[in-house]
Amino acid sequence: MTSTDTRDVIRVGSRKSELALKQTKYVIECLKEYHPTKEFQIITMSTKGDKILDKSLPKIGEKSLFTEELELALESGRVDFVVHSLKDLPTSLPEGMALGAILKREDPRDAVVMSKKYKNKTLSTLPEGSVIGTSSLRRSAQLARNMPHLKVENIRGNLNTRLRKLDDENGPFAAIILAAAGLKRMNWENRISQLLEPEEALYAVGQGALGVECRETDWKILSLLEPLYDVETTLRCVCERSFLKTLGGGCSAPVAVSSTLKNKILTVTGAVWSLDGQKFIKDTSKSKLYIPDDDGEPPKKCPYREPQLYCSVAPGKVSNISLLGAEQLGKDLGKNLIEKNALDVMAEARNEILNSK
């Protein structure tokens, strides 16, 4: 770089997995369309969730399993922003951190990948006792309730590792369940045997969306990221995150959602289960949002005060009024489930996990 070159180098944090790097590179490509003179440098690191593969996520018993190391690098200034799968991010970020952008959502549904032996089957037509691999309590609880003829076993590792375990002819798995978004981003859509509709399996909060985390008052980076905001995805995900935050959920209990935004009406369905799927509480709420036709009002960016955050999401180009409505809808849905004893079901699930360690 010559002394007359005014380009800045933006340092981007990412996990080392192939999918994480692909997602990070995608965000950088999007940014280059708006900032063609900027240079971006990817800095990779492994997280605790990447390193501990012999335990299910809830049994590790810690928050931020896939984000802590990246957030420490962000806090120290080693990186300027971090790209995450939004479903991996807690609903409350560390002090001083914010989601500076949420990109347009990929397919949020769960996908079934069958072994070659059962390539023409669906979950409902698999033989009794067939083993399904998943590391998600949310998926295993719904399978236990809806597909009691199947057996669920934990499977960990990145996408490549889990697919390799499925393809092992001597392995136990008839099928595994993964997020459709990851398979599609890896261009492995041909591996999808079945997509599970929300009526069959609700998905994880934020699933299918990419979130970009940065320092809350880093105005330069917040401004850089602002064009990436997708209004519909942001409003849906703020609502979903608000629902989960109200329940106090995470990896330690089976909690799931689905949401839609049509004609400015935001609809969200949320549910909690016992680990065996037998106890089940579900509800749906909807609200009409005020969404300006010009995609939102610019947020106030006074350098003397921090921006308003909505479940740790900075407003970007999205209307503050719309975000407030989405956040309130998620909170109301959470309260509705709490009134139906959702917290008792979740506490029972957590106790079962603790006692199984």
Residue 113 CB partners (closer than 8 Å, separation 6+): 163, 166, 175, 176, 177, 178, 183, 191, 192, 193
Compute the distance between CA of residue 196 and CA of residue 173 in angstroms, rounded to an integer: 18
> Exposure pattern of 10-21 as b/e (b: 16+ CB <10 Å)?
bbbbbbebebbe
CATH T-level fold of 9-107+205-355: D-Maltodextrin-Binding Protein; domain 2 (3.40.190)
Give the pLDDT of residue 93. 92
Q: What is the mean pLDDT of residues 81-107?
A: 94
Least trusted range by pLDDT, from 34-48, 64-78, 163-177:
64-78
Q: Kindly indicate the confidence band of residue 351, based on its pLDDT and cuts at 50, 70 and 90.
A: confident
Give the pLDDT of residue 154. 93
* Tens-digit pLDDT profile for residues 178-237: 999 999 999 999 999 999 999 999 999 999 999 999 999 999 999 999 999 999 999 999
Structure token digits, residue 287: 């609200």
Kindly give the pairing relationship between strand 255-262 and strand 265-273.
Answer: antiparallel
Q: Kindly indicate the confidence band of residue 47, based on its pLDDT and cuts at 50, 70 and 90.
A: low
The three-state DSSP-derived secondary structure of 114-168 is ECHHHCCCCHHHCCCCCEEECCCHHHHHHHHHHCCCCEEECCCCCHHHHHHHHHC
Beta pairing partners, 247? none
User: What is the percent of the chain with per-residue pLDDT over 90, rounded to a whole number?
Assistant: 77
Q: What is the mean pLDDT of residues 256-277?
A: 97
Give the pLDDT of residue 250. 61
Least trusted range by pLDDT, from 67-71, 104-108, 120-124:
67-71
Residue 198 CB partners (closer than 8 Å, separation 6+): 109, 258, 269
Give the pLDDT of residue 354. 76
Average pLDDT over the chain reads: 89
Between 53 and 265, name the one with better pLDDT: 265
Q: What is the CATH number of domain 110-195?
A: 3.40.190.10
Give the pLDDT of residue 251. 57
Helix residue ranges, H only, the chain: 18-34, 48-51, 57-60, 68-76, 137-146, 159-167, 180-185, 219-225, 231-247, 320-339, 342-355
Give the pLDDT of residue 55. 44
Q: Kindly indicate the confidence band of residue 2, based on its pLDDT and cuts at 50, 70 and 90.
A: very low
Q: Which residue type is seen at 124? A: S
Per the listing, tokens 């995450």 go with: 84
Is 8 one of the annotated active-site residues of the chain?
Answer: no
Kindly give the pairing relationship between strand 131-133 and strand 173-179.
Answer: parallel
Phi, psi dihedral angles at 295 (to 5 degrees):
70, 20
115 pLDDT more than 90: yes
Please give the radius of gyration of the chain, using alpha carbons only, rounded to the nearest integer. Answer: 20
Give the pLDDT of residue 332. 98
Give the pLDDT of residue 7. 44
Per the listing, tokens 């790209």 go with: 83
Give the pLDDT of residue 296. 46
87 pLDDT more than 90: yes
pTM: 0.90
356 pLDDT more than 80: no
Residue 126 near residue 118, CB atoms below 8 Å: yes
Compute the distance between CA of residue 228 and CA of residue 230 in angstroms, rounded to an integer: 6
Torsion angle of the four alpha carbons 231, 236, 241, 246, in this order, in degrees rounded to the nearest 10 = 120
C-alpha distance from residue 340 to each of 66, 271, 334 (Å): 32, 11, 10
Q: What is the mean pLDDT of residues 4-15?
A: 74
Give the residue range(s) of CATH 3.40.190.10 domains in the chain.
9-107+205-355, 110-195
* Tens-digit pLDDT profile for residues 22-46: 999 999 999 999 999 999 999 998 6
Give the pLDDT of residue 294. 57
Q: Kindly indicate the confidence band of residue 84, based on its pLDDT and cuts at 50, 70 and 90.
A: very high
Which of 50, 88, 107, 283 is an active site residue? 88
Structure token digits, residue 197: 């509709």
